[in-house]
Amino acid sequence: MLVKEGETEREAQEFLKVEENVKYNENGTPVKRLRRKARIVQSENIAGRSFWNELPSLAKEVGGFTEDVDKINPEYVRFFQFENKLMPSTWIVVRIDGCHFHRFSEVHEFEKPNDKQALNLMNSCAVAVLEEIQDIIFAYGVSDEYSFVLKKDSQFYQRQASEIVSIIVSFFSSMYVMKWKEFFPRKELKYPPSFDGRAVCYPSSKILQDYLAWRQVDCHINNQYNTCFWMLVIKKGKGKSEAQNYLKGTQAQEKNELLIKEFNINYNELETMFRQGSLAFWEKDITMTHENTASVETSHRKVIVEHCDIIKPDFWEAHPSILDENPPTF
Ligand SMILES: Nc1nc2c(ncn2[C@@H]2O[C@H](COP(=O)(O)OP(=O)(O)O)[C@@H](O)[C@H]2O)c(=O)[nH]1
Ligand SMILES: [Mg+2]
């Protein structure tokens, strides 16, 4: 098609990339396909005409520059950028979620339905994010997702959504790779994980608490279902669709009864981290040192991880500074 449309064969080849062996026939002969291949080209002047003249097919795809670099008015180019600032004086929540973690957890043979080390790794990365971005006051995580809450009047990156989301996502992903060996010393990381992220603003602490409660309810529903599902598959040898049909329409109480009767599992005695997810937040840490006869109290803040109910008001009442609109400085 490219040649038909006026490209020379060399240009078409260059645009279409390289031939690659994709598989072998039964008689051992390789099957070749043309694959697009990324090329790295070094040039000091990508806005100059000569750069694009040497790559005509690329220029055709992206559309040529109307002016050479020295004639471009920077204001005109900047005009195309847009600001997407998050609403002022609202709680910003950035939720990140592992991309295709169904596959990632299969490839890395995570324990089913919960892999304690995988969850501990997620928690450790979340702690690192809180330590890095001090405006994050609280985080809640379950499975392959984590929600990070920034303080209400945060001016982090002037509240620009794409900057805030991309920093959290990229820092978390890098941490996940860096810390992998610490949590899986005998497992090779087969390919790099990635996370997506989005930012949502919540105008009141009540709505923020409702959001977090929604994530914890989701954790409970999924965990109870997954526990039953994998018990039926692993312990009872049921097929996956058979187990799915078996659980269709069952209520929470029925699932608990199934676990007790069939597997002697008391759901409420399963690890709290599996049932309730994980919270990471700043807490005041007081250390006492003794100098001669006097004891000196020093305080600093550190991030701690807990697993508890955040649907009921008890947790929030016990930690009023988290949702305090004017948090104390430690
Ligand atoms: N075996 C196992 N799988 C997990 C664990 N945590 C997350 N996963 C997998 O990750 C998926 C996360 O759900 P979701 O984000 O909807 O799916 P995704 O689009 O494939 O990332 C789950 O459905 C599981 O397959 C775990 O601790 N153990
Ligand atoms: Mg996911």
| CA of residue 112 to ligand 1 center, whole Å | 10
pLDDT tens digit sequence for 151-188: 999 999 999 999 999 999 999 999 999 999 999 999 99
Asked, for residue 166, whether it belongs to a domain, the answer is yes
Instruction: Supply the pTM of this predicted model.
Output: 0.82
Cβ–Cβ under 8 Å, residues 193 and 173:
yes
Q: Is the pLDDT of residue 190 over 70?
A: yes
Range of the domain at 74: 9-78
- CATH number of the domain at 113, please: 3.30.70.3000
Asked, for residue 37, whether it belongs to a domain, the answer is yes
In this structure, are 174 and 148 located in the same domain? Answer: yes
Q: Mean pLDDT of all residues in the chain?
A: 89
Q: Is the pLDDT of residue 39 over 80?
A: no
Q: Is the pLDDT of residue 237 over 60?
A: yes
| CA of residue 61 to ligand 2 center, whole Å | 33
Asked, for residue 84, whether it belongs to a domain, the answer is no
| CA of residue 157 to ligand 1 center, whole Å | 31
pLDDT-wise least confident of 46-55, 103-112, 309-318: 46-55
Domain end position, chosen among 40, 57, 78: 78
Among the bound ligands, name the one nearest to the CA of residue 143.
Answer: 1
Q: Is the pLDDT of residue 22 over 60?
A: yes
**Cα-Cα-Cα-Cα dihedral sign, residues 202, 205, 207, 212:** positive
Q: Is the pLDDT of residue 45 over 80?
A: no
In this structure, are 149 and 249 located in the same domain? Answer: yes
In this structure, are 193 and 288 located in the same domain? Answer: no
Check pocket membership of 97 for ligand 1, CB cut-off 6 A: yes
Considering only CA atoms, which residue is closest to atom 28 of ligand 1? 114
Q: Is the pLDDT of residue 3 over 70?
A: no
How many distinct structural domains can be found in the chain? 3
Cβ–Cβ under 8 Å, residues 97 and 195:
yes
Work out the average pLDDT over 246-257: 95
Exposed (0-12), middle (13-18) or buried (19+): which is 166, by Cβ within 10 Å?
A: middle
In this structure, are 153 and 290 located in the same domain? Answer: no
Would you state the structure tokens that stand for residue 321, as one six-digit string? 């500074």
Which pLDDT does position 219 carry in this prediction? 98
In 3D space, the residue among 311, 277, 226, 281 whose CA is nearest the CA of residue 122 turns out to be 277
In this structure, are 119 and 225 located in the same domain? Answer: yes
